[in-house]
Homo-oligomer: A and B are copies of this chain.
Amino acid sequence: MLDDRRMAVLRAIVEDYVSTGEPVGSRGLVERHQLSVSPATIRNDMAVLEEAGLIAQPHTSAGRIPTDAGYRLFVDQLATVKPLSAAERRAIQTLLDGPLDLDQIVSRAVRALAQLTHQVAVIQYPSLRTTRVRHIELIELAPARCLLVMITDAGRVEQRVVELPATLGPQTTAVLRAKLNEATAGPTLEEALVDLDSLWLGFTEDVRPAVQAVVDTLKAIPKSGYQERLVAAGTSNLARSSADFRRFMPVLEAIEEQVVLLKLLTEMSADSGQIAIRIGHETTQAGLEETSLVAAGYGPGRTVATLGVLGPTRMDYPGSIAVVRAIALYLSRILAA
């Protein structure tokens, strides 16, 4: 029923519609593609595809456009991998140069992603829930005030100023620092936090409240909602893709809300470099019915967060997939260094 030619027709419809934005008709199809059959035949095929729910007409006597299901079938079975151009490779390569600061790496990567896909790019910061602690530092800033710095193996650095009920003194600070590092050397931050509850036992009565203040601050880090966050770039690409602002206002809102998008990205996170795609309604988010999300996990060795691009369902999926995968791999490589 859905034989080869009909699949070829679907592919041609998707490709034409993505590049032109106009509903595509039977005549144009045979002109632009080597289908070697007549428009009438194509029309019959289109009727079948429409029956199967893969394409639709905006109105009678218009051409067809792919439905969400049509795009889904396209990306799952029809899309051919589109290799990156030399220029694209070079653009991504330049990410490798320069400093090792996570903020800067993420910032550059998200820009590159937006620029290469001409879509809105989002990168989730390495989640504190799944990363491991590489190092904890405790610095006395002033009497009864110290700075707690935590470095994760994804290169993320979190710092908190802690107001103490008493001054610790350099020696106690050093001991506490050592104990903190020892206690958090476990698998992930979330699991390590349990061990901290009994940490105060190793200290004399007078400094226990201060120790507890530091521990409480540390425990609060992964719990504060702010810690799960994402950065976006390329929002001005939205205006290019659709002339109607109602289409992309929800996207801007979703980016600002963060929570919704983070949930979505987390659901989609897979192995590093593996692509996950949500098309239109599949996002199950009000306002994002005409928006697709192409995402991939990244991280040093294992996946610690997700990145992706956000665009209209009418999107160049093969191209986006190639770029997203490439950026995810490069980013993972940098973080593993």
Tell me the residues in window 211-234 of chain A with beta carbons closer than 8 Å to chain B beta carbons: 220, 224, 226, 233-234
Question: Are A151 and B157 interface neighbours, CB within 8 A?
Answer: no
Indicate whether A147 sits within 8 Å of B139 (C-beta atoms), given known contacts A101-B160, A249-B236.
no
Question: Are A252 and B226 interface neighbours, CB within 8 A?
Answer: no
Q: How far is the CA of A243 from the CA of B137 in the complex (A)?
A: 51
**Is residue A208 within 8 Å, beta carbon to beta carbon, of the partner chain?**
no
Q: How far is the CA of A135 from the CA of B147 in the complex (A)?
A: 10
Residues of B within 8 A of A236 (CB): 249, 252-253, 256
Mask of A149-179 contacts with B, CB within 8 angstroms, 1/0: 1010001010111010000000000000000
Question: Are A99 and B243 interface neighbours, CB within 8 A?
Answer: no
Indicate whether A99 sits within 8 Å of B160 (C-beta atoms), given known contacts A135-B147, A139-B137.
yes
What's the tally of chain A residues with a CB closer than 8 Å to chain B? 41
With a 10 A CB-CB cut-off, give which of A141, A163, A245 has the most chain B CB atoms: A245
Mask of A81-106 contacts with B, CB within 8 angstroms, 1/0: 00000000000000000011101100
Q: How far is the CA of A279 from the CA of B248 in the complex (A)?
A: 27
Residues of B within 8 A of A47 (CB): none
Tell me the residues in window 244-303 of chain A with beta carbons closer than 8 Å to chain B beta carbons: 244-246, 248-249, 252-253, 255-256
A54 to chain B, nearest CB (A): 31
**Is residue A239 within 8 Å, beta carbon to beta carbon, of the partner chain?**
yes
**Is residue A107 within 8 Å, beta carbon to beta carbon, of the partner chain?**
yes
Residues of B within 8 A of A253 (CB): 236
Q: How far is the CA of A101 from the CA of B220 in the complex (A)?
A: 13
**Is residue A235 within 8 Å, beta carbon to beta carbon, of the partner chain?**
yes
Q: Which A residues form the contact surface with B (CB < 8 A)?
A: 99-101, 103-104, 107, 111, 134-135, 137, 139, 141, 147, 149, 151, 155, 157, 159-161, 163, 220, 224, 226, 233-236, 238-240, 243-246, 248-249, 252-253, 255-256
Instruction: With A104-B224, A245-B245 given, name 8 new contacts (CB 8 A).
Output: A135-B141, A137-B139, A137-B147, A139-B149, A141-B151, A235-B252, A236-B252, A239-B248
